[in-house]
């Protein structure tokens, strides 16, 4: 079960997991490094030294206040993975190289934003207070919704199932029907607040009774969902202040960045080729009413 609480939607440690860890490790290690000066090396992995400069850089990125063995152990683990990746010649794999180039581009773009663009002014207390009052569903009247879900292949949805998913009834009856029809499904329990749901879906959910069933189609999957519970979880003005300040600051930074991009685009020579004309424009995504069973909805992602 997941419960999301911040205004922003998505703290990383020194050691990442899976492919992301390996990619960052390869990116950090690519290129030649100068031999560490005497006294600067903290550890060595198969002859590859880890220096105090690397540790300090990691501290700056990871948010740790002081050097500690755990951060160093993370660097050692990263280097072990880098060495293993190089032995497997992953640093020559075209897909890996493409990901590394993309990561480099992202770092450069982010560095430009951080170093060259103006910093947003801190929101005033009046702005924070106004924002709080204008978003009661996020704060003073915030509610928490629990959804029970059965996820099936979209092709399995038929007229009989669609009729079952109308009105109020136990989702277990639907699960029993699916089992009888030999339709495989995955159970999920999802918790969201009114802060997390897009406005069109929130408007639909507010009208629902507990136990209300509805269907949301998402790609090749169909989510058979039930509103299991609703609770009041208000957030006070004082408790929300820091979140609102960060949200408004991020919003202003986004506006500053958009203005800079527009200015840079005006000075750049940009050509879109014929092959780009077939790309779909998703700048305006359709969102279906959450109370309407069987309709496509961007709301699907919001309740998962």
Between β-strands 41-45 and 143-153, what pairing exists: parallel, antiparallel or unpaired? unpaired
Report CA torsion sign: 173, 177, 182, 185. Answer: negative
Q: What is the structure's pLDDT at 25?
A: 52
Q: Kindly report the pTM of this predicted structure.
A: 0.66
Q: Return per-residue pLDDT of the chain as tens, 304 residues.
A: 444 444 544 333 443 444 554 555 555 554 444 444 445 899 999 999 999 999 888 887 765 556 688 889 999 999 999 999 999 999 999 999 999 999 999 999 999 999 999 999 999 999 999 999 999 999 999 999 999 999 999 999 999 999 999 999 999 999 999 999 999 999 999 999 999 999 998 999 999 999 999 999 999 999 999 999 999 999 999 999 999 999 999 999 999 999 999 999 999 999 999 999 898 887 654 444 444 433 444 444 455 5
Whole-angstrom distance, CA of residue 99 vs CA of residue 186 = 32
pLDDT for res 289: 44
- ∠ CA 295-299-301, nearest 5°, is 120
- Residue 207's pLDDT is 93
Nearest alpha-carbon partner for 165 in 143, 189, 148, 180? 148
The pLDDT of residue 282: 74
């Amino acid at each position: 079960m997941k419960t999301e609480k911040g205004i922003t939607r998505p703290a990383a440690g020194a050691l990442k997991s899976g492919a992301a860890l390996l990619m960052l490790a390869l990116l950090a290690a690519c290129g030649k490094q100068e031999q560490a000066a005497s006294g600067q090396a903290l550890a060595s992995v198969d002859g590859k030294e880890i220096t105090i400069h690397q540790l300090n850089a990691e501290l700056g990125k990871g948010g740790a206040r002081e050097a500690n063995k755990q951060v160093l152990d993370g660097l050692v683990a990263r280097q072990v993975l880098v060495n293993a990746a190089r032995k497997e010649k992953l640093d020559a794999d075209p897909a890996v190289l493409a990901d590394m180039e993309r990561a480099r581009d992202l770092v450069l773009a982010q560095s430009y934003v951080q170093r060259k663009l103006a910093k947003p002014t801190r929101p005033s207390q009046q702005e924070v207070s106004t924002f709080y009052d204008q978003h009661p569903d996020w704060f003073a009247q915030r509610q928490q919704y629990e959804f029970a879900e059965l996820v099936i292949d979209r092709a399995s949805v038929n007229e009989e199932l669609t009729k079952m998913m109308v009105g109020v009834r136990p989702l277990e009856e639907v699960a029993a029907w699916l089992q009888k029809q030999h339709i495989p499904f995955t159970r999920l329990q999802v918790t969201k607040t009114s802060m997390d749901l897009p406005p069109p879906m929130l408007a639909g959910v507010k009208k629902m009774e507990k136990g209300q069933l509805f269907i949301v189609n998402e790609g090749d999957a169909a989510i058979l969902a039930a509103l299991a519970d609703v609770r009041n979880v208000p957030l006070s003005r004082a408790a929300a202040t820091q979140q609102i300040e960060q949200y408004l600051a991020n919003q202003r930074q986004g506006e500053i960045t958009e203005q800079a991009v527009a200015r840079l685009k005006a000075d750049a020579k940009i050509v879109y080729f014929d092959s780009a004309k077939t790309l779909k424009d998703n700048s305006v995504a359709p969102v279906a009413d959450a109370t309407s069973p069987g309709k496509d909805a961007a709301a699907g992602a919001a309740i998962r």
